[in-house]
């Protein structure tokens, strides 16, 4: 045998060599599953990332690394089906570790085919990209905040220039009329004008307070201090504040929230949200009606409902409630058919707390305002809709 042949024979890789190479890839989770999707090999990178030792994970089903939501949606089987159909399945997804924590990973699944052409199982390779995903999400969030800032700035300036300026001009006009022609005005007429001025001034002060509070929450992060809150007590607090207004219209307020239900939110914002929604319900509910506040947990969110037996709203008004433009605000405010600036405040507070709001209503059938708040302190999980490619 020549020296070249000897050297060549010494460097033929063996299966043990490949196994050692795979096991040395600490930044990659690499494991295989059999045709029944049970894990039958597990490299040291997988043990490091998922926290399962080899003897703990061998024999477990492939689904063990997926979230409950993904399992319900059939994602594990979908990956296998795609790998069989297309030769591989690529995916960016959150996966679950042994301690319940989650990490974001780029993943690929390949079918394992033997030399005789038989399918032996599958191999899945994962790379932890959590930090990259957080950085990407932070950049996307910053760009969205800039866009929101510009939108809200235009809304506030429009309201200040129209919805506040015009009524103030009318107030000044009435005061000037009283000032320069007071001796010729009948006392009763003067009293009526003073009442109008007083009412208009209070309305404008209320709107200005809303705008200031809205801007404070939107742009002053130091004002935001979320904590664990017992929801029942805060609904009771708001009901006590509004009970006299409800009694005048013989409206019954029902707090159907369980005493153990809680949310993670800013206390002042939660009070403002509830007070705005219940006040709106009182305004639009006729004599002898009722308002019910209830809550139901769904996954990591609490869904709170403020339901009234009022007049309800048309489809056109509902569609514009949470995308307010200047003309819509002016019209609903003049006709007293909408919540106006108060709902802008509520929407801003909920967004700050990681929640959302929507409404179900029809004319003559009352309205139900729904909003969500996190039950516990939210993690830094981000949506997996944007893809990150595997890089060195």
CATH class (in words) of the domain with range 224-392: alpha beta
Cβ proximity of 308 and 238 under 8 Å? no
Cβ proximity of 254 and 290 under 8 Å? yes
For residue 348, pLDDT over 70 is answered with yes
Average pLDDT over the chain, rounded to an integer: 78
The CATH classification of domain 135-223, taken from the options 1.10.287.130, 3.10.180.10, 2.40.37.20, 3.30.930.10: 1.10.287.130
Q: What is the pLDDT of residue 157?
A: 60
**Pick from 82, 127, 73: nearest CA to 104:** 127
Fold of 3-128: Beta-Lactamase (3.30.450)
Question: Left if phi > 0, otherwise alpha if psi is -120 to 50, otherwise beta: which for 88?
Answer: beta
Per-residue model confidence as pLDDT tens digits over 136-168: 766 667 666 666 656 656 565 655 555 566 667
**Pick from 68, 73, 77, 122: nearest CA to 95:** 68
Own/partner long-range contacts of 161-165 (Cβ < 8 Å, ≥24 apart): 162/326, 162/330, 163/207, 163/326, 163/329, 163/330, 163/333, 163/341, 164/204, 164/207, 164/208
Q: Where are the domains of the chain?
A: 3-128, 135-223, 224-392
Model-level pTM? 0.49
Beta bridge partners of 172: none
pLDDT band at 102 (very low <50, low <70, confident <90, very high): confident
Cβ proximity of 295 and 303 under 8 Å? yes
Q: How many helices (H) and strands (E) does the chain have?
A: 14, 12
Q: What is the pLDDT of residue 235?
A: 95
More confidently predicted of 321 and 159: 321
**Pick from 357, 344, 351: nearest CA to 214:** 344
Separation between Cα atoms, residue 73 and residue 75, nearest integer Å: 6
State residue 207 phi and psi, 5-degree precision: -65, -40
Decide whether 135-223 matches 224-392 in CATH topology. Answer: no
Per-residue model confidence as pLDDT tens digits over 270-305: 988 898 899 889 988 999 999 999 999 998 999 999
């Amino acid at each position: 045998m020549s020296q070249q042949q000897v050297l060549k024979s010494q460097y033929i890789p063996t299966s043990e060599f490949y196994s050692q190479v795979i096991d040395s890839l600490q930044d990659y989770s690499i494991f295989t599953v059999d045709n029944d999707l049970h894990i039958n090999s597990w490299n040291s990178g997988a043990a490091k990332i998922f926290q399962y030792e080899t003897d703990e994970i061998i024999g477990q089903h492939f689904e063990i690394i997926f979230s409950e939501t993904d399992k319900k949606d059939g994602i594990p089987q979908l990956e296998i089906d795609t790998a069989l159909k297309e030769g591989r399945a690529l995916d960016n997804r959150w996966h679950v570790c042994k301690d319940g924590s989650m990490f974001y990973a780029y993943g690929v699944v390949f079918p394992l085919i033997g030399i005789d052409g038989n399918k032996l199982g599958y191999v899945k390779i994962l790379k932890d990209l959590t930090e990259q995903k957080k950085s990407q999400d932070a950049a996307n969030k910053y760009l969205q905040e800039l866009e929101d800032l510009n939108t809200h700035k235009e809304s506030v300036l429009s309201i200040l220039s129209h919805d506040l300026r015009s009524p103030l001009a009318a107030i000044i006009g009435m005061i000037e009329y009283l000032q320069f022609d007071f001796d010729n005005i009948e006392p009763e007429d003067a009293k009526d004008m003073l009442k109008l001025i007083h009412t208009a001034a209070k309305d404008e002060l209320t709107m200005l307070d809303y705008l200031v509070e809205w801007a404070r929450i939107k742009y002053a992060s130091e004002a935001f201090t979320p904590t664990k809150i017992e929801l029942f007590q805060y609904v009771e607090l708001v009901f006590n504040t509004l009970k006299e207004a409800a009694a005048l219209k013989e409206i019954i307020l029902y707090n159907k929230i369980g005493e153990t239900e809680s949310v993670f939110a800013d206390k002042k914002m939660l009070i403002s949200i509830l007070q705005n929604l219940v006040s709106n319900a009182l305004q639009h509910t006729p004599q002898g009606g009722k308002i019910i506040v209830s809550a139901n947990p769904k996954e990591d969110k609490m869904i709170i409902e403020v339901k009234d037996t009022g007049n309800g709203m048309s489809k056109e008004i509902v569609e514009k409630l949470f995308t307010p433009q200047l003309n819509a605000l002016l019209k609903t405010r003049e006709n007293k058919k909408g919540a106006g600036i108060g709902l802008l405040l509520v929407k801003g507070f909920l967004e700050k707390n990681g929640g959302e709001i929507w409404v179900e209503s029809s004319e003559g059938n009352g309205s139900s305002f729904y909003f969500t708040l996190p039950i516990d302190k939210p993690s830094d999980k981000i949506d997996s809709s944007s893809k990150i490619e595997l890089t060195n």
